[in-house]
Chains A and B, each alone.
Chain A
Amino acid sequence: MIELRHISKTFNRNTPNEVKALRDVNLKIDSSRFVVIIGSNGSGKSSLLNAIAGSIDVTEGKIVVDDHEITHLEEYQRSKWIARIFQNPLMGTAPGLSILENFRLASVRTQSKKFSIGTNEKFRKKIRDKISLLNLGLENKVDQLMGTLSGGQRQALTLLMAVMDETKVLLMDEPAAALDPKTAELLMNLADKIIREFHLTAFLITHQLKDALAYGDRLILMQEGMVTKDLGQSEKAALQLNDIFNWF
C-alpha cells in the first residue's frame, strides 16, 4: 500500500518563477493496484512520480509505503521498495556494463553491494532463463554491452530488472513513449504481465489514451497539480475513449 497525504511541491518558491507543481494531493493506493495517470503537459504527473521516487523533495505532506514513512528519505534509500522505469529507454541501464552485470546490480537493488563476485555461472543461467521469456533473442548475448542494444530492447530489459529483487512499487513514466508502435505494445503487455505476476503496486503515466483504457484498474486525471478525477475499476471499465478525450 502506498499513501500520499497532502503532498505539495512548489518550485522556485517566493520568486517570480514560482511554479506550484503539486497542490495538496491525497491518494491511497492499495497493494497490487495498477494506477494509470493521465493529464496534459505540466499537470504534475511526473512531479508526482518524482516525489514518490525521491528525486524531488516535497514541500509539504507525507508519503507512506506500507508502514514506512519515506517522505524525507534519499532516492537510493527508497529503492528498497521502489523500482522505476524512465521515459528515456537509455536511462534505466548502464551502457558500459554488460547485460549480465546490469542484471546483477538490479538483483541486489535492496541489498548492500558486497565485495564478492555475483556474476557466477548459476546467476548467468538464471538470467539467461529470465531473458529468454522476452523472446528478443538476447539470452545468448548476456555478455554483450548494454549500450549496443536498441532502445526497445533496453527498456524491456529494464522492466525485467525492476523485478529482479523484491519490489513493492513500480513507477513508470511514459515507458513506451520513445518506442515504435509495435515495440511499445510489446513493452506495455510485458509491463502488465509483470505487474500482475509479481503483485506490484504500479503507477503508469501515459499520453496514450488507448493504453489508459486498456491497462490498470484505476484511472487518475491530473490538472494543474491536483487530482481532478479518480475512477475505480468498474467506473474505468465503463469508460469510452471519447469520454477521456473530452476531459482535456
Chain B
Amino acid sequence: MNFYLSAILLGLGFASLALGIFISMRIFNIPDITTDGSFTLGGAVTAVLLSDHTSLPLVLLVAFLCGALAGSITGIIHTKLKVNALLAGILVMTALYSINLSIMGRSNIPLINIDTIFNRLPFISDSISQEIFILLSFSLLLWLIVSWLLKTDFGLAMRATGNNENMIRALGVNTDRMKILGIALANGLIAMSGFLITQIQGFADINMGIGIVILGLGSVMIGEIFLKMIRVHKIGWHLLGVIAGSIVFRLILAFALSIGIDALYLKLVVAVFVLIVVSIPNLKRAS
C-alpha cells in the first residue's frame, strides 16, 4: 500500500484518540495519562473479543465502555479523593497495565484469519478501498456525534466546567460529576481508537499505548494551528481541525521515516516535534 496513504489511514484511526485528548486536555485542562492505558485496553478487548468471534458492534460497544470505565475511575479519584489529576491518571494507567495483560493473557495477540471491521463490505472487493471507506465514514460519524454532543445543553455545561468552574456551579451544574463523565467520555473515545488501530495493524500489543497521549496532544495542537489560520471558534470546526491534525501528524511521521530516520528514534522525533508545536505560540508571544 502506498506509504502516505497508509499514514493517512492511521491518522483517521487515531482521530478518535485526538478527540478524546481534546476533551480531557482542552475542555477540562487535565493532562490525562489514563490515555496510555485506556488505548491499550480498547485494543486488548478488541483483539480478545474478535478472536472469540463476537459481533463487531458489540466489540465496539464493549471497547468504548471499558475505556469509559477506566476514565471514570480516574475522574472519581481526582474529584472525590482530591488527588491531583495527573497522578490520578498515572495510577489508573499503571493499574491498567496489569489489567490489560490479564485480559490478553499474553503480551501480543495477532488477528490472523479473523474478520475485522475492514472485511465486512462485500460490495467493495478491494481491501484498501474498504479500509478507506470504513475509516472515512467512521471518522465522519464520530465527528458528527461529538460535535452534536458538545453543542447540546449538556455539552455546553461540560465545556463551561473546564472554562469557568465557579460560574457553571452557580448555574446548577455538579462539576465533579461533569468531570467524571467528561474524562469517561474522553477515554471511551480513546479506547475506540485502540479498537480501530488494533484492526488496522492486525494485532494488539501490551505496549501499543506507550506515549500515545503525546500523539493525541500533538494532533490537537496541530489542529489549533489550522484554526488560528482560518480564525474560527465554532466547536465543529475545532473538532474537524483536531481530526485533520491527527492525519497531518501521521504524514509528518511518515515523512520523517521516508527521509531515513531510524524507526528506533521515532518516539524521540515525536517528542521533539510536539515540543516544537507546543512552544511555537509561546515563542511568538514572547518576541
Contacts and interface: CB of A to CB of B under 8 A. Distances in A.
B171 interface: yes
A106 B171 contact: yes
Interface stretch (A64-72, A86-94, A220-228): A86-94
A145 B233 CA distance: 8
Given A76-B174, A79-B171, A97-B160, A113 B154 contact: yes
Given A94-B160, A113-B154, A114-B152, A75 B167 contact: no
A105 B171 contact: yes
Given A79-B171, A84-B170, A113-B173, A95 B164 contact: yes
A96 B224 CA distance: 14
Interface in A88-135: 91-98, 101-102, 104-106, 108-111, 113-119
Contacts of B156: 97, 101, 104-105, 113, 119
Contacts of A105: 153, 156-157, 160, 168, 171
Contacts of B171: 79, 105-106, 108-109
Nearest to B161: A94
Contact of A53 (B163, B168, B170): B170
Q: Chain B's interface: helix, strand, loop or mixed, by majority?
A: helix
Nearest to B149: A115
A119 B167 CA distance: 19
A74 interface: yes
Given A76-B169, A76-B175, A118 B153 contact: yes
Q: Chain A's interface: helix, strand, loop or mixed, by majority?
A: loop
Given A74-B174, A76-B173, A92 B153 contact: no
Which of the four size classes fits the interface of chain A? Answer: 35 or more
A74 B170 CA distance: 10
A53 to B, nearest CB: 7
B267 interface: no
Contact of A114 (B154, B163, B173): B154
Contacts of B175: 76
Given A93-B164, A105-B153, A116-B153, A79 B170 contact: yes
A101 B159 CA distance: 10
Interface residues of B, number: 23
A95 B159 CA distance: 11
A204 interface: no
B255 interface: no
Interface in B164-195: 164, 166-175
A83 interface: yes
A80 interface: yes
Contacts of A95: 163-164
Contact of A117 (B152, B169, B170, B172): B152
A115 B170 contact: no
B133 interface: no
Nearest to B177: A76
Given A86-B166, A97-B156, A115-B149, A80 B233 contact: no
A118 B154 CA distance: 10
A92 B172 contact: no
Contacts of B152: 113-118
Contact of A76 (B148, B153, B164, B172): B172
Contacts of A116: 152-153
5 contacts: A79-B171, A92-B167, A108-B153, A108-B171, A113-B157
Interface of A: 53, 74-77, 79-80, 83-84, 86, 91-98, 101-102, 104-106, 108-111, 113-119, 145
Q: Which 10 residue pairs across A and B have the least CB separation, nearest first?
A: A79-B172, A94-B163, A113-B153, A113-B157, A96-B163, A94-B164, A94-B160, A113-B154, A109-B171, A84-B170
Given A79-B170, A115-B149, A117-B153, 11 more contacts: A76-B173, A79-B169, A94-B159, A95-B164, A98-B233, A105-B153, A105-B160, A105-B171, A114-B152, A115-B154, A116-B153
